[in-house]
Amino acid sequence: MSAALLPGATGEDGRPITLGVMGGGQLGRMFVQAAQEMGYVTVVLDPDAASPAGAVAHHHIRAGYLDEQGLAQLMQRSSAITTEFENVPAAALLTLGAQRPVAPGADAVAVCQDRDAEKRHFRASGVPCAPWALIETAEQLATVADELLPGILKTARLGYDGKGQVRVADRAALAAAWDELGRVPCVLEKMLPLALELSVIVARAADGTLVHFPVQQNLHRDGILAVTQVPAPEVSEALRQQAVQCAQAVAQSLRYVGVLCVEFFVLQDGTLVANEMAPRPHNSGHYSIDACDQSQFDLQVRTLAGLPLAAPRLHSCAVMLNLLGDLWFDAQGTERTPPWAQVLALPGAHLHLYGKAGARPGRKMGHLTITAADAATARAVALQAAALLGLPAF
């Protein structure tokens, strides 16, 4: 990108600088809100007429991600384009990138879309990850190394929030799981003894400048992020530094432009291994809206527009609770409104609902961030909020 796209400026055609986003979910919504705060016009491409991002953007192009007319409209309206989820077709980003600055680029997104390519990239970047094998054929299935079992069989593409994954104890279970997943390309990862889950969010500019958020400690339930604590309470300074260095190495070797999240496992012996990465802002970074002087979405805007990157600062300790659609139903399955008045009476409570039309179990409806001057207070208040909402303690 040769010149910064300055907020409130106009392009050569006399129209205001407009930032586009592929995808209309909650991540797109929060990107749009951050861009609008800085004075940008925004446009969203998403086929859903009720998309959360489309509801708040200046323009909503209702089209599929490979729709030629929709992509042409997005290019016409946008000065630069980003994406809000990793499963946007890389081919669409390649098409857009031929005409407009696109961040992250199609090549980087393509790596993140394929678990085998992702793991090969970790290895090439000097970042440790779990031993794995690619399974695309019956012959590869039959020759899997014994030391990879027990393991987790994962679809090579399109898996998220625990979907497309099956735990397997032996070869018979592995064969059955591959059949269950439709014999699509998969990777088998060795199951490792986990102690903790961490994530690191970095932002990298086109000139190579890198900044990062604090290391985040995460708790997942049923494969979906449930709780994020910042600063990570059970992590040494040495391990924090290692996680940040690994995430930066991944971004640098991808020549990445944008916001990137790398998820890590800490094993019971203290070893750090990379799990996966997401070429976008991440659920575990939502606390940054309320606890940092710049959010992950602010940095997404900056990297896309070619603005200077300043290191974000954590001004409050934070605990984030993910709010799934289950909270909108009682034990008998009757729909209800969660007790927001009681929750918002707690000190440091910040409620974010995503504007989704209908709640259903497992659907991400919003998040609640508790901020405080110290980690112990943030956790104590977050536990009160969890109790009010009927969420398990952590």
159 known member of a binding site: yes
120 known member of a binding site: no
220 known member of a binding site: yes
Separation between Cα atoms, residue 210 and residue 251, nearest integer Å: 9
For CA atoms 207, 287, 250, 248, give the dihedral sign: positive
190 known member of a binding site: yes
Return the structure tokens found at 49. 């007429």
DSSP annotation of 284: G
275 known member of a binding site: yes
Give every strand in the sheet of 41-45, ordered side by side: 59-61, 41-45, 18-22, 80-83
Residue in 315, 278, 306 with CA at minimum distance from that of residue 83: 278
Q: Which amino acid is at 143?
A: T
191 known member of a binding site: yes
164 known member of a binding site: yes
Residue whose tokens read 């909503």 = 60
DSSP annotation of 147: G
Separation between Cα atoms, residue 178 and residue 166, nearest integer Å: 9
User: Which distant-in-sequence residues (6+ apart) come within 8 Å of 341 by Cβ?
Assistant: none
Cβ distance 279 to 93 under 8 Å?
no
User: Which distant-in-sequence residues (6+ apart) come within 8 Å of 80 by Cβ?
Assistant: 1, 5, 19, 20, 100, 101, 102, 103, 304, 305, 306
Determine whether 182 is exposed, middle or buried from the number of CB atoms within 10 Å of its CB (0-12, 13-18, 19+): exposed
189 known member of a binding site: yes
163 known member of a binding site: yes
Q: Which amino acid is at 380?
A: A
218 known member of a binding site: no
Cβ distance 63 to 47 under 8 Å?
yes
Q: Report in angstroms the alpha-carbon separations of 79 from 7, 18, 47, 142.
A: 12, 5, 21, 50
350 known member of a binding site: no
Collapsed DSSP state (helix, strand, coil) of residue 385: helix
**Binding residue positions:** 115, 154, 159-165, 189-192, 197, 220, 275-276
**Binding residue positions for ATP:** 115, 154, 159-165, 189-192, 197, 220, 275-276
